[in-house]
Amino acid sequence: MTRHVGDLIREARQARGISLRALATQIGIHFSHLSKIENGKDQIGRKALERLAEILEIDPGLMLGEAGHQERPFRVLGNVAAGVPIDAIENVETFDLTRVFDPQDHFLLRVQGQSMIQDGINDQDLAIIRHARTADNGETVVAVVDGAEATLKRYRRVGSTVTLIPANDQMTEMVYAASRIEICGILVGLVRTEMQ
């Protein structure tokens, strides 16, 4: 079963003995929003993710699921210091990305544009998408509009109306009749291809 960023947040929070409310307060978001993130029902913004990673002392890139299908597993050769130098000891282990993202259930799309940058999704990144025809409000989806144009946006449906929401304050929400929108998949991870 694929783990999402919420699972990683919950595990790191609980391992450090921090309550949901306390962590939400430190990040600057409402505890109910953090609860939804942990349960995979909502997305976390880039600034909140960076603050959360700082508090929990974990890599934000890891939580975004920077992974994709590989024919051969990556090899983790050991540890490297990003602070105080440590002994360079080679300790080889393998990291098979296909165990996290089953290639039968997932596909990759290259992101083009800046509409999701506040969720940490940058131009030219590879979005890892799980095949799906339906989505819950708050999930980031690949939606096809009028059977032609595909876009990666947050999803919200109210009645017979679907709103596709960018994660960029410079852009506006797009509202459509639900009949015009087809869900093709849900964002479950990201492969960072360029440093921002």
Q: Which of 47, 115, 160, 179 does the annotation list as catalytic?
A: 115
Distance CA 190, CA 68 (A): 8
Catalytic residue among 19, 153, 160, 179: 153
Is residue 36 annotated as part of the catalytic site, yes or no?
no
Q: Is 87 exposed, middle or buried (0-12, 13-18, 19+ CB in 10 A)?
A: exposed
Concerning whether 35 is annotated as a catalytic residue, the answer is no
Give, in degrees to the nearest 5, the angle at Cα 109 between 49 and 182. 95
* Residues that are catalytic: 115, 153
